[in-house]
Amino acid sequence: MRGGVAAAGRNMTLDAYARDWLARQRRLAPNTIKAYGLALRHHILPRFGRHDLGAITTPDIRDWLRTGLLTAEPNTVKSHLAALSALLMDALLDGLIPANPAHGAGRRLWPREVRVPKALTGAQLAVLTYAADLDRALWLGAWVRIGARTGLRPGEQLALTPECLEEHLVRVEQTYHGVGRFGPPKGGRRRVVEVSHGTGELLAERARLGRPFLFPGRHRDRPLDPASLDRAFGRAIHRAGLPAHLTPHCLRHTYASLLLAAGAPPQYVRQQMGHASIKLTVDVYGSWIPASRPDLLAVLDEEPERHPPRPARHHGIGRILPFTRPQRRRA
């Protein structure tokens, strides 16, 4: 059986398999399909397109990754590997190859990664909000405030309609990918997000515009274009003097980090963010908490004094009994 699989893989090139592979990926988000298509066209097919599927080996892929790391960012190379691995995994499921040679091919190749915080501190958020208010895009100040106070992903915020708003609640039912394409929220999970009174007023003010979406674009039946959002946000980041790697998604990170720093229960933050697991909430966002909490440590100093020892009764005399080991009875 294994020999038959290997023979099948040697009778089809990667280029031939990839021709309709991307079109069959209907479960992927449009942005992921776009990224995979670019990786195939510019990086994978020029290197492996003429190779038979069964002839591609893990050492071949590792050599390709090493070459890519000389000219590109590690995260870019990782995305190329993810596209190739997804294609070869489907070839494995289709019975064309006996194993996925891309699985684990990147081990010990990436330089030690230093996690750069993508969340803003309270002071940075204030500066960014001020810069957004000064931008020629009159909607940008409201965008920054709502994003930092709801934790919505940019596509989810773009897709908001007046019908999504309830008193102190926002129903997240869809996301916008651009060019008129909508889809379900990430992971296919709809959720309800609680909002503060002030945030509710901001959202209601956007709803009173009388447009189908809270952040309308040039076309009446479409939201603001994601590319327009990225350009306006980049201008505000530059004006505020903040790191250039920050994107609109950093407002979601900021929301979670500030809530956790304020002492919000991680389970509540997980629910608001729509995470499938609390591990992501704690491990990632918890590591970006921008403030120390000496007030929490002070509780440890105060705790003993809050519970003075109670006197014990011994033959009618109140005293504190010392700790003594129980005596063993002699046989």
Q: What is the pLDDT of residues 33-54, one digit of tens each?
A: 888 999 999 999 999 999 999 9
Task: Count CB atoms within 10 A of the CB of residue 122.
Answer: 14
**Where does the pLDDT of residue 307 fall: very low under 50, low under 70, confident under 90, or very high at 90 and above?**
low
Separation of alpha carbons 156 and 207, rounded Å: 16
- The secondary structure element, H or E, covering residue 142 is helix 140-150
Q: pLDDT for 249-279, tens place per residue?
A: 999 999 998 998 888 899 999 999 998 888 8
Q: Which residue has the higher pLDDT, 111 or 60?
A: 60
Parse the chain into domains and list their residue ranges: 2-93, 122-288
- CATH code of 122-288, in short, is 1.10.443.10
Res 317 pLDDT > 50: no
Q: Which residue has the higher pLDDT, 140 or 244?
A: 140
Report how many helices (DSSP H) and strands (DSSP E) the chain contains, helices first.
Answer: 15, 7
CB 124 within 8 Å of CB 296: no
- CATH code of 2-93, in short, is 1.10.150
Q: Which long-range contacts (CB under 8 A, 24 or more apart) does 111-114 make?
A: 111/74, 113/74
The per-residue pLDDT for 41 is 94
To the nearest whole percent, how much of the chain has pLDDT over 90?
58
Of 140-144, 188-192, 291-295, highest mean pLDDT: 140-144
The per-residue pLDDT for 202 is 95
